[in-house]
């Protein structure tokens, strides 16, 4: 089945996203992070599983809830936690961040790693990712694009339009619909008659199915099949990953409208816990080995915070000079 090192890498990604979000929320409360901050807590398995099925030369495009995608795609590995440092520096608005403090949480991008970027416009990334796939088809390569978006974005016109064009032109794009069942506070049942959103893909002749978005291996398998389909020129594919946020829409939303029993149900199916169990059981790792991975990530996160808080604010003079030249 899966090698222990593969399962370990999956778990490291899951756990890194969890720690990143948890610590950043604390930094937010301390006033070190400002503006909008949308945690990916509870949805870690989708980015971790999906990105693990991609090659280095593939692309992803993300959303306002994008930290998980950026970390998973950034490829935080046993020897390289520099993506984590650049993430923290960017959400703190510092010079050493991914975007030199100009983008912030909602606009993290790293084109050099095939991460086209997060987006502050709901649905904004869907056609852009589809366009990256159009380019791939014109170039004749076998790269693939993963377009991440959520249920709210699925109700924007860009989704059906992009889905249809991807379908008629057989584009190598995997639409990864993270159905966390809310758009801010709007519950999915009130925003559509058909909450099984993958069914929309079927109407466009696109292979579409749902997967447990809290199960990292289930997501990985689904994604692997989808990616293989796309590489054979038989894309697009739509995957609806069912999941649930562990809290409100953003750090300042207590999410009181989320029914307690539903929240508890999903928290009991915690994606990080599930990934941990895979590594213990299928990966046959000891509790001790897992704890040492966790301690390493914890330590790297503290180093990333130190790195970011030491990083200077971008220079206003340089910024104004840039503006002058533009």
Partner 1 sequence: MSAMATPVSAPPARVIMYREALNEALREEMIRDARVFLIGGGIAQRGGSYKVTVGLLDQFGPKRVIDAPISESSFTGMGVGAAITGMRPVVEILFVDFTSLIMDQIVNQAAKYRFMSGGKGRVPLVLRTQGGSGGSLAAQHSQSLEAWFYHVPGLKLVMPSTPYDAKGLLKTAIRDDDPVIFIEHKLLYMEKGPVPEQEYTIDFGVGAIRRPGKDVTIVAWSGMVGRALAAAAKLAEQGIDAEVIDPRTLVPLDKEMILASVRKTERLVIVQEAVRRGGVASDIASLVQQEAFDYLDAPIAIVAGKNTPIPFNAHLERAAVPQEGDIIAAAKRCLYLS
Ligand X SMILES: Cc1ncc(C[n+]2csc(CCOP(=O)(O)OP(=O)(O)O)c2C)c(N)n1
Which residues contribute to the site for partner 1 (CB under 8 A)? 34-36, 93-94, 99, 101-107, 119-123, 152-153, 155-157, 183-186, 190-192, 257, 313-314, 316, 319-320, 322-323, 326
Select from 16-24, 67-75, 146-154, 226-234 the region that touches ligand X (CB under 6 A).
146-154
**Residue 240 contacts Mg ion per CB under 5 A:** no
CA distance 95 to 166: 38
Q: Which is nearer to Mg ion, 151 or 270 (CB)?
A: 151
Judged by beta carbon distances under 5 to 8 A according to partner kind, the member of partner 1, Mg ion, ligand X, none in contact with residue 130 is none
Select from 5-13, 179-187, 295-303, 304-312 the region that touches Mg ion (CB under 5 A).
179-187
Judged by beta carbon distances under 5 to 8 A according to partner kind, the member of partner 1, ligand X, Mg ion, none in contact with residue 65 is ligand X
Residue from 105, 180, 208, 243 binding Mg ion (CB under 5 A): 180
The answer to whether 143 and 173 have CB atoms below 8 angstroms apart is no
Considering only residues 238 through 297, tell me which ones interact with ligand X, judged by CB under 6 A.
Answer: 249
8-state DSSP, 257 = T
**Residue 125 contacts ligand X per CB under 6 A:** no
**Residue 150 contacts Mg ion per CB under 5 A:** yes
Min dist CB 44 to ligand X, Å, is 13
3-state secondary structure of 207: coil
Judged by beta carbon distances under 5 to 8 A according to partner kind, the member of ligand X, partner 1, Mg ion, none in contact with residue 185 is partner 1
Considering only residues 64 through 83, tell me which ones interact with ligand X, judged by CB under 6 A.
Answer: 64-65
The answer to whether 125 and 61 have CB atoms below 8 angstroms apart is yes
8-state DSSP, 195 = -
8-state DSSP, 103 = S
Query: How many other C-beta atoms lie within 10 A of the C-beta of residue 299?
Result: 11
Min dist CB 191 to Mg ion, Å, is 9
Cα dihedral value 98, 104, 106, 109, nearest 10: -20
Residue from 71, 72, 132, 183 binding ligand X (CB under 6 A): 183
Q: Which is nearer to ligand X, 140 or 259 (CB)?
A: 259
Query: How many other C-beta atoms lie within 10 A of the C-beta of residue 177?
Result: 26
Beta-strand pair 186-187/182-183: antiparallel
Cα 280 to chain centroid, rounded: 24
The answer to whether 116 and 125 have CB atoms below 8 angstroms apart is yes
**Residue 62 contacts Mg ion per CB under 5 A:** no
**Residue 151 contacts Mg ion per CB under 5 A:** yes
Name the token pair of 29: 């409360």
227 exposure class (CB count in 10 Å sphere: 0-12, 13-18, 19+): buried
8-state DSSP, 79 = T
What is the contact surface with Mg ion in residues (CB under 5 A)?
150-152, 180, 182
What is the contact surface with ligand X in residues (CB under 6 A)?
63-65, 120-122, 150-153, 180, 182-184, 249
């Amino acid at each position: 089945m899966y090698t222990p090192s593969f399962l370990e890498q999956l778990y490291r990604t899951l756990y890194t996203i969890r720690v990143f979000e948890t610590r950043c929320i604390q930094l937010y409360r301390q006033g070190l992070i400002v503006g909008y901050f949308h945690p990916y807590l509870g949805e870690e398995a989708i980015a971790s599983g999906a990105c693990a099925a991609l090659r280095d030369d593939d692309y992803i495009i993300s959303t306002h809830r994008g930290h998980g995608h950026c970390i998973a795609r950034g490829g935080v590995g046993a020897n390289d936690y520099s993506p984590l440092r650049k993430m923290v520096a960017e959400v703190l608005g510092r010079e050493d961040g991914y975007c030199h403090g100009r983008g912030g949480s909602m606009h993290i991008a790293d084109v050099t790693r095939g991460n086209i970027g997060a987006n502050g416009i709901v649905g904004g990334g869907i056609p852009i990712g589809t366009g990256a796939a159009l380019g791939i088809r014109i170039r004749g390569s076998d790269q693939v694009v993963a377009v991440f978006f959520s249920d709210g974005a699925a109700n924007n016109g860009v989704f059906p339009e992009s889905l249809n064009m991807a379908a008629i032109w057989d584009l190598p794009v995997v639409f990864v619909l993270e159905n966390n069942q809310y758009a801010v506070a709007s519950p999915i049942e009130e925003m559509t008659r058909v909450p099984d959103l993958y069914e929309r893909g079927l109407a466009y002749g696109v292979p579409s199915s749902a997967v447990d978005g809290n199960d990292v291996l289930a997501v990985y398998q689904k994604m692997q099949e989808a990616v293989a389909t796309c590489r054979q020129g038989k894309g697009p594919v739509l995957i609806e990953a069912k999941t649930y946020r562990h809290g409100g829409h953003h750090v300042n939303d207590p999410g009181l409208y989320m029914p307690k029993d539903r929240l508890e149900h999903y928290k009991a199916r915690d994606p990080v816990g599930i990934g941990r169990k895979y590594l213990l059981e299928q990966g046959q790792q000891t509790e001790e080995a897992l704890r040492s991975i966790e301690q390493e990530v914890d330590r790297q996160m503290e180093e990333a915070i130190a790195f970011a808080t030491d990083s200077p604010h971008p220079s206003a003079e340089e910024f104004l000079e840039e503006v002058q030249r533009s």
